[in-house]
Amino acid sequence: MDKLLYGVAYYDEYMPYERLDKDVQMMKACGINVVRIAESTWSTEEPQDGVFDFTHIDRVLNAMQKAGIHVIIGTPTYAVPTWMVKKHPEILAITPSGQNQYGARQNMDISNKDYRFYAERVIRKIMEHVKDNPAVIGYQVDNETKAYNTAGPNVQALFVNYMKAKYKTLDNINHIFGLDYWSNRINNWDDFPSMIGTINGSLAAEFAKFQRQLVTDYLAWQAAIVREYKRPDQFITQNFDLEWHGFSFGIQPDVDHFAAAKALDIAGIDIYHPSQDKLTGVEISFGGDVARSMKGGKNYLTIETEAQGFPQWVPYPGQLRLQAFSHLASGANMVSYWPWHSIHNSAETYWKGLLSHDFEPNPVYDEAKTIGKDFDRLSAKLINLKKKNDVAILFSNEALSGFKAFGFGWGVRTGYNDVLRQFYDGLYHMNVGCDFVDPTSKNIEDYKLLIVPLLYAAPDSLLQRLNAYVKNGGHIIYTFKSGFADENVKVRTTHQPGIINEACGIYYSQFTEPSNASLKVDNWNLKPEDKKLNTWMELITPTTAKVLAYYDHPVWGKYAAITQNNYGKGVATYIGAITTNAVTDKLIADEVKSVGLWGDDQQLAWPLVTKQGINQNGKAVHYYFNYSANESSITYPYSNGKELLSGQAISKGGNLKLEPWGVKVIEVN
């Protein structure tokens, strides 16, 4: 890309009165240079079976072309029209809760052959119609795609075929998944049961993997159709979303991010986050790091993020600017709000857009105008930021699914992403840049420090690879419940933590909940409340590892809680219990220092956030953010440069003042 994109989702179909020209005028005044259209309105584009009406697409394309505003066309396949369901009610997915009812989006079975027929037809009709329009710069396939728990008879039949191809015989399946238990053994392919009722966590995890493969194949299928029509100068993307905890939170359990992104030219991400006094920037950073890692470090598009959003998300003055530049600092080449205009009825009426319901300028719109001007003015210096990180978090959808089946026991709500985010947030707070890798990544060995949370299910080959990583000089931090089960979520029959005990220099065979137990550790300057444990503790015996912390408990006190082992040229740290942030932060900081990555940026800590990269002109760019309501100042530690937003020169050792919710961007000379 040669210009930063600043955009909005726009729905001419939803407008209560004619105002396209007025919207374009206001967009131009705001610096909006791209709109995303068409992905939500299949029933308008095909009001009856085989009857197509692209009036709204044409109106917007013509208006945007005249205004010099780019357009991203979305395939409208995530929300099906009424006539389709009337004609083919089986298109509505059957889930563990029964068959979906019409009304909500994403209620269909993405593997259904009739749905695929209509989806392909509307995609081809739209592509034939828009492909030559010069305003169109790219295409979004589907929208926040997942399998949506589809599990009806046709999906079960596809799963049986998948199992036949992968495991060949029922004897293999019965043995690998332990199906003799509770008489779950399958003795005839025709008797293969539905996965909706399975009590076998291994089989449930395999079905979850299969459902993720449905998503990967579906997006590749759509991308292949679009690729038949698109021009060489147009891109294909998708707006992946994340696990949702009232906002974007963690790795999406229902999508293999890296696998699904292979069919795309550029990764896209939807990032929504708390605001006002709860704005930390961590969700922006997390989502950006995941999206950038999907395509091996390439820049990405923030396809959706909030302008006003929910009532509790309306930003304080300055926060919209802070957020926008935070996306760029993680490597985004686009920031786009959902939506442009607030909607006046139906499900998302009070998820407000850049404009409120009166469509008039408001403080958020006025602040967006300053962002648009700065994006336009500084595009050449801020676009295509290249980032090089030496720390990565290894995540695994297989481990996530396996852990979901077994977790920490009955009634415990702590999940995979809660643990992963504890470590990610620690890195973020101390301004340590981070990438994500998964078990398929070829570049794991390139990192100096690898953090591996809850690697509950993993094949022998991955654990052996991680042992070799340490032996060859890598540093690794494991959490509890790692190495526990194989790739089929079958618990290993050796001492835990399985194969990685070689690098970790420990073993254990018992675990419990830390009732009245805490950490016993010297020289860490921890407060009593920092030593508390919750939910889970493994009773570790070191073999070659040194003990960093024992349990403080009259019975369990002889066991180690946290260990560290020199193995070959590297170091493996193992955390055997759920600790406080103070403890994990201490361990992270010590390891960052140990691998030589503690530098000038680590002299700052959240709410002062700094990120950096190399721009397309080969110059270093340093972002500084103040995620607080208090004015702050820092001593600029790098070579002389220019603060790009103000145009002022800045010298090494100079004072840099950050207003509340403020941002500074320095390009080194």
Known binding site for substrate: residues?
105, 143, 313
3-state SS class at 487: coil
SS (H, E, C) 435-468: EEECCCCCCHHHCCEEEECCCCECCHHHHHHHHH
DSSP string, 360-426: S--HHHHHHHHHHHHHHHHHHHHTT-B---SEEEE--HHHHHHHHHHTTSTT----HHHHHHHHHHH
DSSP string, 541-597: EESSPEEEEEEESTTGGGSEEEEEEEETTEEEEEE-EE--HHHHHHHHHHHHHHTT-
Question: What token pair was written down for 515?
Answer: 């009732």
Q: What's the one-letter identity of residue 502?
A: E
Long-range contacts of 521-524 (CB under 8 A, 24+ apart): 521/548, 521/549, 521/550, 521/562, 524/549, 524/583, 524/586
Helices and strands in the chain: count of H runs, count of E runs: 17, 33
Given 39, 45, 144, 643, which residue is catalytic? 144
Main-chain dihedrals φ then ψ at residue 392, nearest 5 degrees: -140, 150
Given 45, 46, 283, 304, which residue is catalytic? 304
Question: What token pair was written down for 208?
Answer: 């979850």
CB atoms within 10 A of CB 144: 19
Q: Which of 475, 456, 449 is nearest to 393 (CA)?
A: 449
* Residue positions forming the annotated binding site: 105, 143, 313
The length of the chain, given as a count of residues: 669
CB atoms within 10 A of CB 460: 13
Q: How many CA atoms lie within 13 A of 305 on its CB side?
A: 30
409: left (phi over 0), alpha (psi -120 to 50) or beta: left
SS (H, E, C) 60-80: HHHHHHHHCCEEEEECCCCCC
Across 3-78, where does the E strand assignment appear?
A: 5-9, 34-37, 70-74
Report whether 356 contacts 362 (CB < 8 A): yes
3-state SS class at 637: coil
Catalytic residue flag (residue 631): no
Q: Which of 379, 334, 385 is nearest to 615 (CA)?
A: 385
Catalytic residue flag (residue 591): no
CB atoms within 10 A of CB 471: 15
363-382 and 20-30 helices, crossing angle to 10°: 60
Helix (H) or strand (E) holding 479: strand 475-479
Instruction: Determine how β-strand 560-567 pairs with β-strand 570-575.
Output: antiparallel
Q: Residues with catalytic annotation?
A: 144, 304
